[in-house]
């Protein structure tokens, strides 16, 4: 009915979806990125690793999906971070600042009970959309 298309983003450089969802969706100039757990791009899990390692893997997935849509961390508009244990807040903020550099998008850090597979962190985001690129 609507002429405005919905494009699904897929890249093998981020963890494959573990259920009925796409890594990201592009619509009318906004990129909607699914919640990223600290699953590595090749599929291995990291739930036994320290928080810092898990946070970096989740952020790696986020950046890979941004890149697959032709975007960068500097295109992020709003990021929501779910963490199991609000005590991880300071460590998260440090790692996040390293990944984002000068850009400071809107953000919410939300404490939750243990995440899927026992993970300590999940990250979702909205970003300024771009041209979809074919990334293998």
Coil, strand, or helix at residue 121?
Answer: strand
Q: Is 91 one of the binding residues for a copy of itself (CB under 8 A)?
A: no
- Specify the residue, 2 or 134, whose C-beta has the smaller distance to a copy of itself: 2
Stretch that binds a copy of itself, among 33-41, 43-51, 54-62 (CB under 8 A): 33-41
Contact residue for a copy of itself among 46, 55, 75, 121 (CB under 8 A): 75
Burial (CB < 10 A; 0-12, 13-18, 19+), residue 104, is exposed
**19 part of the interface to a copy of itself, by CB under 8 A:** yes
Window 98-127: residues binding a copy of itself (CB under 8 A): 100, 104-116, 122, 124, 126
Mode of pairing for the β-strands spanning 121-128 and 30-36: antiparallel
Q: Is the dihedral of CA 10, 14, 79, 108 positive or negative?
A: positive
Q: Which is nearer to a copy of itself, 48 or 108 (CB)?
A: 108
Instruction: By CB under 8 A, tell whether 4 contacts a copy of itself.
Output: yes
**In the complex, minimum distance from the CB of residue 41 to a copy of itself, in angstroms, rounded to a whole number:** 18
Question: Which burial class, exposed, middle or buried, applies to 38 when counting CB atoms under 10 A from its CB (0-12, 13-18, 19+)?
Answer: buried
């Amino acid at each position: 009915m609507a002429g405005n298309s919905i494009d699904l983003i897929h890249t093998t450089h981020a963890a494959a979806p573990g259920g009925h969802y796409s890594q990201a969706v592009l619509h009318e100039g906004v990129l909607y990125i699914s919640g990223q757990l600290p699953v590595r791009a090749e599929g291995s899990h990291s739930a036994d690793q320290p928080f810092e390692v898990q946070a970096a893997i989740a952020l790696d997935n986020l950046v890979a999906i941004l890149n697959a849509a032709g975007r960068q961390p500097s295109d992020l508009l709003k990021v929501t971070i779910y963490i199991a244990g609000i005590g991880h807040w300071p460590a998260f903020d440090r790692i996040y600042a390293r990944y984002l550099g000068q850009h400071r998008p809107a953000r919410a850090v939300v404490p939750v009970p243990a995440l899927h597979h026992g993970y300590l962190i999940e990250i979702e985001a909205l970003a300024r959309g771009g041209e979809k690129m074919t990334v293998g």
